[in-house]
Structure 1
């Protein structure tokens, strides 16, 4: 797991982005929150819990978890004193016939990566390749992304009990990666689930983040 600070000025307030599979900090680099330190988590070929002591200087921590990042957050961020936890286009049970993606769909995606590359997945994720965020950070190889997806699929297919008390869960109406009906089934059973107009990538409009931060 890689950790990258987009901003680290010891502001006392922190945003943690647990990004989705195959992501880089480019996914959120355009969202301007100058009053916050910003930590991006990505590249989940392995994961390890975040240590609460490392974040003891923050009086307010907001977590935004996207896609597989929701499951990852359950594994690594449950010990942090989160002021807000926001899930975006994912569930804590991402490889699930009932609440996520079918395992065979994940495996088919993994098998097709070497043959067709990332373009088909990106087309669905962003609603067109022209909608991808500007690239400022080095991308990773297809082999690394295959290893990451293999790790996530293998680890996340086991049933587990969610720990994080999520405050809000956004569900995009045009998501072609995580089926909206599956996300609704999970989050509605928890009294959550806020629909919004987007593809699987939730950060095209920075308001999805800015509206969740305290004034």
Structure 2
């Protein structure tokens, strides 16, 4: 996992943002975090995390989007000093027919990213268009698109899939209940990546309050609002 500071001024509060699959810091480089330092986490090919940085802060707010919801829970479950944790358009069960992305769709995306398929670039383009929901949002996103090649995206998604399958086989993380870090969630009704109904089912069964918003999977205004609300 890569941890990248957007702002670091030695403040006592950290806004810690976990981005989605296939991201880097570029789409979020102009985000602001109020009176807090802002760090973005991305690339979940491995889940190595530098916990020492967190010791510098007395208060930490987590905002996680898409696949970042799963990643944040993987590395921060049980961590102290988390004052708030908001999940946006994702769940801790990202490859799941009931609570996340249906497994056949997840696997289909992964297979189409293989070099042998010859479809990798088109697959990324289609994913981003579905993620954005409309042509205007897609154009805006592409103006500051992640600078990663399709091979790295394939490796990341394959790693996430393997970890999720291993969790299911061990039955470590198969139900919404149990110890979770989330204090709230936002579900966008027009999400074409994580079905809104699956997200709602997860948060209902996890007894976690959520807001149903009129938006798409890539919901820049909502992400900016949650990140900037850190004080």
Normalization by structure 2: what TM-score? 0.84
Quick one: structure 1 residues 43 and 84, their matched pair in 2 at CA, closer, same or farther if it must change by over 3 Å? same
Deviations 1:43-83 (A, max 9, x none): 111112442x4322212110011111111111111224211
More helix by share: 2
Provide structure 1 residue ranges, at least 5 long, that are not aligned to the other structure.
none
Aligned counterparts, 1:68-79, within 5 A: 68-78=67-77, 79=79
Aligned counterparts, 1:130-169, within 5 A: 130-132=139-141, 134-135=143-144, 139-157=147-165, 158-159=167-168, 160-161=172-173, 163-169=179-185
- Check the 8 A contact 2:15/2:60 in 1, yes or no: yes
- Check the 8 A contact 2:184/2:208 in 1, yes or no: no
Q: CA RMSD in A?
A: 1.9
Q: How far did 1:184 drift?
A: 0.3
Answering whether residue 100 of structure 2 is matched by residue 100 of structure 1, we say yes
Q: How far did 1:34 drift?
A: 4.8
The alignment of Structure 1 onto Structure 2 pairs a total of residues equal to: 211
Q: How far did 1:192 drift?
A: 2.0
- Check the 8 A contact 1:15/1:39 in 2, yes or no: yes
Aligned counterparts, 1:31-110, within 5 A: 31-51=31-51, 53-78=52-77, 79-110=79-110
Q: How far apart in 2 are the matches of 1:50 and 1:39?
A: 12
- Check the 8 A contact 2:66/2:89 in 1, yes or no: yes
Q: How far apart in 1 are the matches of 2:4 and 2:179?
A: 25
Provide structure 2 residue ranges, at least 5 long, that are not aligned to the other structure.
none
Deviations 1:22-45 (A, max 9, x none): 011133223222521111110111
Partner of 2:126: 120
Quick one: structure 1 residues 19 and 163, their matched pair in 2 at CA, closer, same or farther if it must change by over 3 Å? farther
- Check the 8 A contact 1:117/1:142 in 2, yes or no: no
Partner of 2:6: 6
Deviations 1:95-145 (A, max 9, x none): 111101122211111222341241100001112322416427x61110110
Partner of 2:208: 191
Normalization by structure 1: what TM-score? 0.89
